[in-house]
Amino acid sequence: MIKKGRKVDLKYLFKPSTMAVIGVSTSQDNHPANVIYNKNNLRYPVKTFPVNPKGGILNRETLYQSVGHIKDEIDMAVIAVRAEYVPMVVEQCIKKNIKGAVIISGGFAEVGNLKLQQRLVDMAKEACFPFIGPNCLGIYAPDHVDTFFLPGERIIRPDKGNIGFVSQSGGVLVDQMVKFAGQGIGVSLGVSIGNKAYIRETDMLDWFDQDPGTKAIAFYIEGFEKKEGRKFIQRAEQCSKPVVVLKAGKSKKGIEAVSSHTASLAGDYRVFQEIMKQHCVAEADNEYEFTSFCEALSCYPRGIIGNVGIISLSGGHGVIAADACELHGLSLPKIDTKTMDTIKEKLSSGVRDIVSLVNPMDLTGSSQDSDIVTTARHLSRAPNVDCILALLIPYSPGVSTDIGAKLSQVARNEGKPMIAYVPNEDKYKIIIEGFELNNIPVASSVEGAVLMAKALTRCRPC
């Protein structure tokens, strides 16, 4: 039995060596527990044990009647049984000295079954037995463990990266992982907390704040218990890493939907929004912003004022970026004459007399790598510019496949944030990798690049 008062260690949930999956069916291959067991048993390094009260054999593997019948020590349990049986299973896990659980099962507070959920919480807290859920997908730790009851071949997984993502909704988590993968954004850990009856957002903030593999922390939040929202914001402000929030439940209908989904209180959104601004939590207005914010803040944890210098190889792209900057509250400062003269002097003779060096700077489609690098270097030194947007047209004849690496070197040497726009096409992958391998964020649209710059203004020190 785990002794009361024992300190909770979440590493056994997120980095388990052994795992029991409870609720595996002998007749339904597509049962959630079977999907979870088969996926982890065949594809992940965590040693996985199937459990069903009937016992027997499953695919030549022993099917254990309870976790108590497993001789090995078990770090984590995944529970996928009917709601009324969950407390009994949790009690068995506690007796087995399992370190924590993911409770996939629904049928608790989200359907009004508050007493059953509270009974579960009381048992777990008495034994210091942390669990994720109930009513959740659980945990995705790249290359290590995946408790999602979704077939492996159906999921698009982001690579291992440095963004920790916590979501009340399993569907939003999976969908966002698809978007991350499409943008080349990796995650350190993805957690669907569902009803968050035990492990809550503040617990995850503490975990990610201490996790060396996480550089930015992202949350999809539907609601909090009374006074919990303020506690979360205060803890986020103390966190050493940027925090991004996508908040649902902003409208009357959205608030009603939140209550029926995870039994949370959506609360007064306007109040929560203002508190996030005051405490430098980066709130994304929508999923598109959320993706951009996450990528930018995972690369640049320190904020900017919002004075942007734009380099473009197309006048049209510069105009689009200028409009987007104004829309999103970013400034395009006037570039001093000395900086413009220095740049012009160092440009190649073929473009020197046809470029426009006001902000946004139009180097034209005739520019070469050396022109782009020179401009970025000296624009970075302008005292009234705190972020560079490099809008690249990779099909321009003078642009080489090394331009991403070359501009990354400039950003590293000059010490100012740089954000790139490159069309997200396989043909330009080597350019994109030149940036990403050097921790420079790359957007697949001009507006996406502007949103990344906007993200940096949301987390500046207050």
Confidence of residue 263 (pLDDT cuts 50, 70, 90): low
Please provide the distance, in angstroms rounded to a whole number, between the alpha carbons at the two ends of the chain.
47
Q: Is the dihedral of CA 376, 381, 382, 388 positive or negative?
A: positive
Question: What stretches of 248-296 adopt beta strand conformation (E)?
Answer: 282-284
How far apart are the C-alpha atoms of 306 and 300, rounded to whole Å? 13
Q: What architecture does CATH give domain 1-131?
A: 3-Layer(aba) Sandwich (3.40)
- Residue range 65-100, pLDDT digits in tens: 999 999 999 999 999 999 999 999 999 999 999 999
Choose the weakest-confidence range: 7-11, 148-152, 249-253. Answer: 249-253
> In the prediction, which pLDDT does 280 show?
85
Confidence of residue 265 (pLDDT cuts 50, 70, 90): low
SS3 at position 180:
helix
Q: Which CATH superfamily is domain 302-458 in?
A: Succinyl-CoA synthetase domains (3.40.50.261)
Domain boundaries, given as residue ranges, for the chain: 1-131, 156-299, 302-458
pLDDT over threshold 80, residue 462: no
pLDDT over threshold 80, residue 327: yes
Give yes or no for a contact between 171 and 261, defined as CB atoms under 8 angstroms apart.
Answer: no
> In the prediction, which pLDDT does 256 show?
61
> In the prediction, which pLDDT does 454 show?
97
Percent of the chain with pLDDT over 90: 83
The per-residue DSSP string of 80-148 comes to -S-GGGHHHHHHHHHHTT---EEE----SGGGT-HHHHHHHHHHHHHHT--EE-SSS-EEEETTTEE--
Mean pLDDT value across the chain: 92
Average pLDDT over residues 138-153: 93
Give yes or no for a contact between 139 and 146, defined as CB atoms under 8 angstroms apart.
Answer: yes
pLDDT over threshold 60, residue 10: yes
> In the prediction, which pLDDT does 9 show?
85
Domain 156-299 identical in fold to domain 302-458: yes
Provide CATH code, domain 156-299.
3.40.50.261
pLDDT over threshold 90, residue 127: yes
pTM of the model: 0.91
SS3 at position 50:
strand
Confidence of residue 2 (pLDDT cuts 50, 70, 90): very low
